[in-house]
Amino acid sequence: MTAYLLRRTAFLVVSLLLAAVVLFLLLRLLPGDPANSLLSVGATPEQIEAARHQIGTDRPLPEQFVSWLGRLATFDLGESFVSTLPVGPEIAARLVVTVPLTLLSFVLAVVVAVPVGFVAAHKANTWYGSVLSGVSQLGIAVPVFWVGMLLVTVFSLSLRVLPAGGFPQDDWADPAKALTSLTLPVVTIALVMSASLIRYVRSATLDVLGSDYLRTSRALGSSFARAMWRHGLRNAVVPVISILGIELASTFLGAVVVESVFALPGLGGMLVKGLAQHDYPVIQGILFVSTLVVLVIGFAADLVQRLIDPRLRHSLARDVR
């Protein structure tokens, strides 16, 4: 296991390095000059050149990249071109909204998807099993921003029971008020995410229901519930865990879109503003942190899979030998 952890950690570091290279190069290929965001309309060429020198974009690209990479090594994401504020603390402040939104959406989606997916598999030959499968297919095809706008129209504009957007200025000083502000965004993400999860849970459950070991357990006198608990649950959970890791990472990234729909002061609004201003440190910082989160979630999901499934542990031991 130690060798596996070291190998995965090395892979994580190399992936982050490659992501840093790609992010840096892609941003420099985007049209627009960051210096223009610091100047008013009609700035002279001399003023534009001075602004470039001020923010360092007049230096050679390799020098800019090495400088940024050196800062990353000390956990410094740099300063914003526009506000001159450190990017790291600003991202941390925005995570106060983005992280709870992601986690609450993920938990709600799992709570909905696991029982619904199990029922859809166990009752696959019934009419309501088919309905559940059909609804999940429909949910996958619906864009998340459309679901958000629909919920705002119904619960905010028509029924007026929930706020259409925004977040308390004092953040979580009043938890009830903060949770109320996140209710519609959380439900929006959870609905779309649960539709996808239902399919995976249904597929994993169908595989277990058709397995020989479950039929053998039932033939030896075990009830369906006991056979599923003792033999089916672990085998059904293993493939779902990897999907949960992917979905959690997708939820974190998808929160960017939902935050824009509901005007939440999270990473989404910060990223959109940074893109509009060509603020390279802000954009690089947000995308790098997002990449780090996705890689860490994938690492954790893979580790949990190996801890649960002895077959993967034995395979790991053979690979190490």
pLDDT at 317 over 70: no
Domain ranges for the chain, please list them: 87-320
Asked whether the predicted pLDDT for residue 211 surpasses 60, the reply is yes
Would the CA dihedral through 257, 259, 263, 268 be positive or negative? negative
Per-residue CA distances from 226 to 162, 186, 218, 223, 308 (Å) = 43, 34, 9, 5, 19
pLDDT in tens, 254-289: 787 788 889 899 888 888 889 888 899 999 999 999
CA distance 311 to 317: 10
DSSP string over 64-89: HHHHHHHHHHTT---B-TTT--BHHH
DSSP state string for 290-312: HHHHHHHHHHHHHHHHHHH-HHH
Q: Which two tokens stand for residue 293?
A: 């989160």
Question: What are the tokens at 7?
Answer: 């190998």
Query: CATH topology for 87-320?
Result: MetI-like fold (1.10.3720)
Return the structure tokens found at 73: 């090594």
203: tokens are 């597929």
Give the per-residue pLDDT at 213.
75
pLDDT exceeds 80 at position 117:
yes
Helices (H), the chain: 2-29, 45-55, 61-73, 87-122, 127-141, 144-151, 175-209, 212-219, 224-227, 233-261, 267-277, 280-308, 310-320
- The predicted model scores a pTM of 0.84
Distance from C-alpha of 15 to C-alpha of 83, rounded to nearest angstrom: 30
Residue 108 pLDDT exceeds 90: yes
Q: What is the DSSP letter of 31?
A: S
CB atoms within 10 A of CB 24: 17
The mean per-residue pLDDT over the stretch 232-245 comes to 76
32: left (phi over 0), alpha (psi -120 to 50) or beta: left
Higher confidence at residue 224 or residue 48?
48
Cα–Cα distance for residue pair 300/205, rounded to 1 Å: 23
Tell me the mean pLDDT in the region 197-211: 83
CA 175 to centroid of chain Cα atoms? 23
- Residue 278, token pair as written in the block: 């060509």
Q: Are 279 and 82 in contact (CB under 8 A)?
A: yes
Local confidence band at 153 (pLDDT 50, 70, 90 cut-offs):
very high
